[in-house]
Structure 1
Amino acid sequence: MSLPKRIVKETERLVADPAPGITASPHDDNMRYFDVTISGPGGSPFEGGVFKLELFLPEEYPMSPPKVRFLTKIYHPNIDKLGRICLDILKDKWSPALQIRTVLLSIQALLSSPNPDDPLAADVAKHYKEDLKGATQVSKDWTNKYAVETA
């Protein structure tokens, strides 16, 4: 199965010139399927964590957005229990001008600035709105529990 040139180019760039704190490597048997890791941004409750995600490029890519989800459990108002991500560029704000790299940087930015006003996990968003300090602590605890690799 041959891949569109664009996917080949984007993949080469991701591997050769990864964004800081982000890795994305395609599977050998399916070049549309990527294993992704995103390091929790400094100064966020996710700092110190390394989050595993999966990214899949549908047949329609780049006319439709990649499918991305968290495999690592995370306590975040815009990411639900199944790891689905509420991010406008993965839905109605998608543009073929965007790239895999842009998507991953946007997800990393979402970790720095959770948006409880556009939640996917309503219970987490409620917690963030009513008790930011407590919610942030739970996010830190989950990061330490699920996203920190112990040697």
Structure 2
Amino acid sequence: MSQKRIAKELAELVESPPEGIKVELADESDLYQWNVYMEGPEGSPFQNGKFLVKLKLPTEYPFKPPAVSFGTKIYHPNVTNDDKGSMCLGMLRPDEWKPSSKIAAVLQFARQLLVEPMPDDAVEGRIAEQYKNDRARYDELAKEWTRKYATA
């Protein structure tokens, strides 16, 4: 069941991807590992950046949520600042995940998070504090990191 659904969702995303998102398999022989190329949204400090987002689907998908992580370093309160780039998305928590959710919605939510971070649900507390208390400095650093790590 899961492979059929994954193949269908992948085909839909390749044929008509959400704005600013391109999807492909990380390895043609593995339906469960995807590379997602996400453009930084216009008007955000990530504008003009191209980010690699790794999506890993569990074999129990859609009953268990996918794991989403950034392969490109990004200065963001909801993404870990280490080489794992784990992303904190409420909808991906096991207690909030719904089997009816689609990967396209996950990717659109992840991209929207670049426009509107959720500092109260942060994995990087220092960056969240900065986002709330010194927005200009946050934007400056996010732009700097985007130039440094996310230019194609």
Shorter-chain TM-score: what band? over 0.9
2:109 is the alignment partner of 1:106: yes
SS in 2 for 1:13: helix
SS in 2 for 1:31: strand
Shift of 1:71: 0.6
Q: Distance in 2 between matches of 1:93 and 1:128?
A: 25
Q: Distance in 2 between matches of 1:69 and 1:53?
A: 6
Question: In the alignment, what sits opposite 1:60?
Answer: 60
Shift of 1:88: 0.6
2:5 is the alignment partner of 1:6: yes
Shift of 1:112: 0.5
Which residues in structure 2 correspond to 1:46-125 (within 5 Å)? Answer: 46-81=46-81, 82-91=84-93, 92-125=95-128
SS in 1 for 2:69: strand
Q: Distance in 2 between matches of 1:135 and 1:121?
A: 13
Shift of 1:59: 0.8
Give structure 2 stretches of 5+ with no counterpart. none
SS in 2 for 1:34: strand
Shift of 1:93: 1.9
Shift of 1:4: 2.5
Q: Distance in 1 between matches of 2:24 and 2:104?
A: 12
Q: Deviation digits for residues 5-39 of structure 1, max 9, x if unmatched?
A: 21111111111111110011112121111011110
Q: Distance in 1 between matches of 2:130 and 2:47?
A: 20
SS in 2 for 1:32: strand
Q: Distance in 1 between matches of 2:78 and 2:54?
A: 17
1:134 maps to amino acid: R
Question: In the alignment, what sits opposite 1:44?
Answer: 44
Question: In the alignment, what sits opposite 1:22?
Answer: 21
Shift of 1:3: 6.0
2:104 maps to amino acid: R
Q: Deviation digits for residues 28-59 of structure 1, max 9, x if unmatched?
A: 12111101111000000111101001111101
SS in 2 for 1:141: helix
Question: In the alignment, what sits opposite 2:151?
Answer: 148
Cα RMSD for the two superposed structures: 1.3
Q: When the two structures are superposed, what TM-score results if normalisation uses the length of structure 1?
A: 0.93
Shift of 1:76: 0.4
Question: In the alignment, what sits opposite 2:142?
Answer: 139
Q: Distance in 2 between matches of 1:109 and 1:33?
A: 22
Shift of 1:90: 1.0
Aligned residues: 148
Question: In the alignment, what sits opposite 2:131?
Answer: 128
